[in-house]
C-alpha cells in the first residue's frame, strides 16, 4: 500500500525528497511538504481550493484532516510551521500553526485561527475562527480559551516531539521497504 498523491488541475503537491508520507495518507492539490516532515497513516491533506504547507521537520499524526476553503469565498491557506506537532486525529481548516507550535490529539482549528510559535492547543480543544493562542499559553475546552500559562520547557514540547517523529519516520520508511521485499 502506498500513499495517494495526485494533482487537481494545475495544483500539484510538492513533497521534499526527505519527507515521509505514510501508506494510506492522501495528499492532493496545492500541498507543500518540507524537508524531514512527516504525514502519517490515514491523514488527508486536501489542497483542492487553497494552499496547505507543512514546514520542515513538522509532523501531522495519524488520522488528521487538513482542508481549506477557496480564497474567493474568504478562505485562507493552512500553514504549519517548521517543527510543529499536529496530534493524532486533529482537524485543521484554514488555520495556521507557528514554528514549534503544538496542536493536541483530536483538537480542531477553524478558519483564520492560529497557534503561535511556542503555544499549545490542548487535546480535544475546539479553537473557533480567527482566535489566536499566544506564545507561552495553553488553551483548552470547547470553545477553547486560555487554560494556563505554559510551565518552563513546555513551549519546547513540539520541538522534542518533532525530532522524535523525524527519527520515527526513518524507522517506518526502513520497515516498509523491508516489508515490500
Q: Which residue carries 481549506 as its cell?
A: 68
Indicate if the pLDDT at residue 181 is higher than 80: no
CB-based contacts of 136, cutoff 8 Å, min separation 6: 118, 119, 149, 150, 155
Q: What Å distances lie between residue 95 and 4, 50, 53, CA to CA? A: 23, 12, 11
Count of other CB atoms within 10 angstroms of residue 19? 21
Distance CA 104, CA 35 (A): 22
* Residue 156 clears pLDDT 90, i.e. is over it: no
Q: In the prediction, which pLDDT does 155 show?
A: 80
Looking at residue 159, what is its pLDDT? 78
What span, in angstroms and rounded, lies between the C-alpha atoms of 16 and 103?
23
4-179, CATH topology level? UDP N-Acetylglucosamine Acyltransferase; domain 1 (2.160.10)
82-128 residue pLDDT tens: 999 999 999 999 999 999 999 999 999 999 999 999 999 999 999 99
Q: What cell was used for 107?
A: 483538537
Buried b / exposed e over 60-94, threshold 16 CB at 10 Å, is bbbbbbbbbeeeeeebbbbbbbbbbbbbbbbbbbb
**Proportion of the chain above pLDDT 90, given as a percent:** 86
Cβ proximity of 30 and 10 under 8 Å: no
Closest CA to 136 of 122, 124, 148, 123: 148
Nearest to 87, CA basis, from 99, 101, 103: 103
Listed range (59-63, 135-139, 158-162) with the worst mean pLDDT: 158-162
**Residue 153 pLDDT:** 85
Q: What is the mean pLDDT of the chain?
A: 95
Element (H, E) at 178: helix 157-179
Amino acid at each position: 500500500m502506498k500513499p495517494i498523491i495526485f494533482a487537481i488541475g494545475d495544483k500539484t503537491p510538492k513533497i521534499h525528497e526527505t519527507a515521509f508520507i505514510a501508506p494510506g495518507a492522501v495528499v492532493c492539490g496545492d500541498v507543500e511538504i518540507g524537508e524531514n516532515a512527516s504525514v502519517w497513516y490515514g491523514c488527508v491533506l486536501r489542497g483542492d481550493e487553497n494552499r496547505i504547507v507543512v514546514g520542515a521537520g513538522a509532523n501531522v499524526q495519524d488520522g488528521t484532516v487538513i482542508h481549506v476553503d477557496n480564497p474567493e469565498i474568504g478562505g485562507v491557506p493552512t500553514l504549519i510551521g517548521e517543527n510543529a506537532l499536529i496530534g493524532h486525529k486533529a482537524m485543521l481548516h484554514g488555520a495556521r500553526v507557528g514554528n514549534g507550535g503544538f496542536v493536541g490529539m483530536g483538537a480542531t482549528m477553524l478558519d483564520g485561527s492560529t497557534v503561535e510559535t511556542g503555544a499549545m492547543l490542548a487535546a480535544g480543544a475546539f479553537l473557533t475562527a480567527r482566535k489566536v493562542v499566544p506564545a507561552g499559553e495553553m488553551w483548552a475546552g470547547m470553545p477553547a480559551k486560555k487554560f494556563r500559562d505554559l510551565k518552563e520547557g513546555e513551549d519546547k514540547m513540539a520541538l522534542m516531539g518533532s525530532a522524535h517523529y523525524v527519527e520515527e519516520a526513518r524507522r517506518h520508511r526502513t520497515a516498509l521497504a523491508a516489508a515490500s521485499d
